[in-house]
Amino acid sequence: MKLLVDNNMSHRVAVLLNKSFFSVCSHVSDFNLDEDTSDRAIWKFAIENGYMILTKDADYEALSRMLGCPPKVIQMICGNTSTIEVIKLIEKSASAIKQFHSDNELCLMYIQ
């Protein structure tokens, strides 16, 4: 299970989650996809490289509803919270994320 963390989240999220249950967890900046990179370009990168996207950006919800999947999108609904709190929310949702990943009919998941 590969996870791509969006620009609107700290790079530390990817670092900390790499020690978790994801086989690969990367931040978009690891691939020189910076703040100026469009959501569609990140979307395309995720498809081409087999990533799910972790984001706080509602624009990905719209893309997911419009284009379907891949990629699968995990949208964090937690506002401006600490990196540690984000990690706790993801780890608390670990079994749901695994089910989401394996369900071919689901494209969008919310964590709050």
3-class SS string, 61-103: HHHHHHHCCCCCEEEECCCCCCHHHHHHHHHHCHHHHHHHHHC
Global confidence as pTM: 0.91
Total domains in the chain come to 1
Structural domain boundaries, residue 26: 2-111
Q: pLDDT (tens digit, 9 = 90+) per residue, 53-83?
A: 999 988 888 999 999 889 999 999 988 888 8
- Tell me, what's the pLDDT at 44? 95
